[in-house]
Chains A and B, each alone.
Chain A
Amino acid sequence: MVQCSTVRDLENHRQALLKQRNSKKLCIAICSGTGCHAYASEKVVAAFEEELKKQNMEIMVDIKRTGCHGFCEKGPIVVIYPHEICYCKVTPQDVPEIITHTIQQGKPVERLLYTDQKTGKTILLETDIPFYKNQTRLIFGNNRKIDPKKIDDYIALGGYSALAKSLSAMTPQKVLDEVKKANLRGRGGGGFPTGRKWETTKNASEEPKYVIVNCDEGDPGAYMDRSLMEGNPHSVLEGLIIGAYAIGAHEGYVYVRQEYPLAVENTEHAIKQAMEYGLLGKNILGSGFDFTIKVHRGAGAFVSGESSALMSAIEGRVGEPRPKYIHTAVNGLWNKPTCLNNVETWANVPFIINNSAQWFASMGTPTSTGTKIFSLVGNVNNTGLVEVPMGVTLREIIYNIGGGIPQGKRLKAVQTGGPSGGCIPEKYLDLTVDFDELYNVGSMMGSGGMIVMDEDTCMVDIARYFVNFLSQESCGKCIPCREGLRQMVSILNDVTNGKALEEDIELLEELCEVVQMSALCALGQSAPNPILSTLKYFRDEYDAHLRGECPAKVCKALIQYTIDPVKCKKCGLCAKNCPVDAITGDKKDLRRIDAEQCIKCGNCLESCKFNAVVKTTGKQKEFLKKQLPNITR
């Protein structure tokens, strides 16, 4: 066991590790993040281990289970170092071929390489894949080189050197000044300057002080915090220790969502290892600074991600927000000064300390410095985690990195900022992405979820989805949020059911305004955003619903399934798949759908091999009625 009691010890250990590790040695890195794990990456690891044993090559080749690489669309991802050959969608059956071809003969396995959709050519190296090439992987880059269970991997890559530097060569004030100068802004949603937050806690008179990592990533469609916490927990811990040193806190908490079991496991393991190495605990690296960290699991409440709610959850109470006339930085956990930052914010700190504030501020835009990790999901070709400097345009992210929309469909909108963010229409594709620009168009940065929606998405349905989500997650403490959201959902339900009137939309707008102004916490105050932004940019869709049409053909009450008699081959597959036996007609006769019985599940459309089942809405429905009087009733 290594015990680093001084900065020199840590440096010596790092040098010993580097000497021990041969950079030319073959290493098979298999992504074991939750995404790839779900694709059975563990079986791939087992297959590699077994095959290497069979070939007696265990000593020559290392196997590494790494954190999330970010390119979840093509999982499980296998990268072979030192060449950095990247294989996508690897199955256990592919393993013997990879061993004989790549490991033994040094030739790539063509069919497993990434194929560029534009040129149709295969790409050998990980760094040449457009998804990776167009990114700036500052915080997220080490994930693919590190086994999150091994602290030595992190130390060998220069880990904990920022901590050593702060403890040995900088005063707490200097650390704080550096973070302030870097103009780092909170990555959790609000974008509040981190340095100022730290300073408030530092200057608060009460003792003790606390620091907290917020990994209660509740936003549906965002999972960068999870991947960082799972893939590189030490980088977050290092940031936290440095922050605690600057602020003068001796106790820290990591609040992790219970839905992320791997993140909990890896964080707990990382804390244990850091304790053993003397990077946590009493007298860290001989500096006289003491610091300990505890892991606290959330129990499934979206609102607990709010700072004051999170703190009451750590105290063992119900995670409800409280009015913040006095900020939590001054009066937080157990009424003591508490500094709470998001996972990604803490992970930025070691980079600022190591590379200077000027270097950090040179990335991004003047008001939003550094990089940001986005989780690019929804109707996009390359789903995954994307790290780019602030100020990149949406177009670059969606088309150059994300590879555009699947099946050549048209982009309709991009939703950013989680459930309480807003929908940005296609016309703003050249918008530069930073805290202020997103706010100006009625959305927000949020934690960095970026959900791409194609033309088949109904914007009213999306607004209903988000408001419904928020109304279910509302803690019910304040009336505007509890009752207001419920009424909003009921109006939006009417709209999607084609029962709403023009006045209802006006009422909805009024409600939005009231909730925005009077709700207790950010959840309620920002809850109307999805409605306001869709009303602003997609008013025509609301109007269409009032007329009884759903342009995207999503809202069940406004659509109808019919069978095109010309295309129908009378195979009867649709009738077989119908769960309610609404499709009648036999082999000789045409098939027809009984509109009374149909529950609009869409199974017939999915199962038809001849595209004979047609989805219609509103006027199209009238049109078809005229055209096919015998078919539809």
Chain B
Amino acid sequence: MTKGKTKSHFVGVRLTEEQKKALYTLQKTSDLSKTDILLRGLEILSEYYALGLDQPPLNTELKKLEEEAIQHLQALKQIKRREESVKHMIQELREIDEIIDDYDGEKSALIQILLKIQEKNHWLPKPALLWVSERLTIPMSQIMHIATFYKSFSLEPRGEHLVRVCLGTACHVRNGPKILEAAEQYLGIRSGETTPDMKFTLESVNCLGCCALGPVMIVDNEYHGKLTSSRVSDILSNYRIGELTLTKEQQKLAPIATKQPPARPM
């Protein structure tokens, strides 16, 4: 930020000590930032010029100054945004640090650490992986090998709701594939994809170990057992609508099943 730089110029005129003080107190007493005060000053000035002291060179000068002030403001905003994202990243990396410290920074705990990060974010962001690589002194290539080998890890952001359809043997003989198809049809995506509105991610899993309920679908951590393909859309629409608490009219407008199923490769 611009901390430390006192304003020595205002509207092209060198500020006297008194004026500097005035600006300082103005800033202190009001919640306005220096830039806001500057802009406000500009406004007053422009009014002043508009009142009759209309001299062209002054006007151009004024415009230049205005532009400068605006640029200054934008730069300030950008810095602030960057600062926030850096803060956020630091926070995230601190959390990762905590996870790594839980395992005493042991190299062999890499998979466990990645699992914890995945649990927290629902995916593995690249900065996180780079940080893990740095801290554990494990090359990034090796980390990527692990992150792509194991099924639990995702290198892309996931939707808000994770929909998992079981395709274990017991569910397969009880029509599990049809359930997956129905879910694909309703969400308009294929297994492994996320809806564009980032609401749902659809996945198939190989046995969840509750075969008596087959065919089974899990949304987040809720189990829906003994499914038929027609019940799938009802269940999923509950997650979509229940969360937004739409009015009845809005519900009518809410997008319902896309009729065309996505193409499946054979």
Give me the interface of A with B, judged by CB distance under 8 Å: 34-35, 37-39, 72-73, 75, 217-223, 226-227, 258-260, 296-302, 313-320, 375, 377-379, 383-384, 415, 419, 449, 451, 453, 457, 462, 465-466, 469, 473, 475, 493, 497, 577, 579-581, 599, 601-603, 606-607
Chain B positions 213 through 252: 1 when the CB is less than 8 Å from some CB of chain A, otherwise 0: 1101000000101001110000000000000000000000
Question: Are A300 and B151 interface neighbours, CB within 8 A?
Answer: yes
Could you say which residues of chain B place their CB within 8 Å of the CB of A493?
266
A and B contact pairs by CB, cutoff 8 A, 22 listed = A34-B209, A38-B216, A220-B207, A221-B168, A221-B170, A223-B207, A226-B209, A297-B115, A300-B150, A300-B151, A301-B149, A301-B150, A313-B111, A316-B110, A449-B169, A451-B170, A465-B169, A579-B185, A581-B259, A601-B181, A601-B229, A606-B230
Does A579 lie within 8 Å of B212, measured CB to CB?
no
Partner of B209, one of A217, A299, A466: A217
Could you say which residues of chain B place their CB within 8 Å of the CB of A473?
A: 206
Beta-carbon nearest neighbor of A453 in chain B:
B173
B153 at the binding interface (Cβ < 8 Å):
yes
> In the bound complex, how far is the Cα of B150 from the Cα of A473, in angstroms?
10
Of the candidates A39, A72, A379, the one whose C-beta lies within 8 Å of that of B173 is A379
The 10 closest A-B CB pairs, nearest first, are: A220-B168, A38-B223, A72-B212, A300-B151, A223-B209, A299-B150, A220-B207, A377-B170, A377-B211, A383-B212
Using a CB–CB distance below 8 Å, which chain B residues touch chain A?
106-112, 114-115, 142, 145-146, 149-153, 167-174, 178, 181-182, 185, 205-214, 216, 223, 225, 228-230, 257, 259-261, 266
Residues of the A chain whose Cβ atoms lie less than 8 Å from the Cβ of B114: 299
Please indicate the chain B residues that have their CB under 8 angstroms from the CB of A601 in the complex. 178, 181-182, 185, 229
Q: Chain A residues with Cβ under 8 A from B112's Cβ?
A: 296-297
User: If A220-B170, A377-B212 touch, does A602 touch B108 (CB 8 Å cutoff)?
Assistant: no
**Is B214 within 8 A of A377, CB to CB?**
yes
Nearest Cβ distance between residue B79 and chain A, in whole angstroms? 40
A220 to chain B, nearest CB (A): 3
List the B side residues contacting A453 at CB < 8 Å. Answer: 173
Residue of A nearest to B186 (CB): A579
Task: Given A221-B169, A299-B115, A318-B145, verify A384-B212 contact (CB < 8 Å).
Answer: yes
Instruction: Check B206–A469 contact: CB distance below 8 A.
Output: yes
Of A260, A300, A301, A377, the most chain B CB neighbours within 10 A belong to A377
Q: Inside 8 A of A219's CB, which chain B residues have their CB?
A: 207
Residues of A within 8 A of B110 (CB): 316
Contact B152 A300 (CB under 8 A): yes
Q: A299-B114, A316-B110 are in contact. Are A457 and B173 (CB under 8 A)?
A: yes
A259 touches B209 (CB 8 A): yes
11 more contacts with CB within 8 A, not counting A259-B208, A384-B212, are A34-B208, A34-B209, A72-B211, A258-B115, A297-B115, A298-B150, A314-B108, A377-B211, A465-B172, A577-B230, A601-B181
B233 shortest CB reach to chain A, Å: 10
B153 touches A451 (CB 8 A): no
- Give A317 to B108 CA distance when docked, in angstroms: 7
A220:B206 contact, CB within 8 angstroms: yes
Q: Are A475 and B207 in contact (CB under 8 A)?
A: no
Contacts of B115 in A (CB 8 A): 258, 297, 299
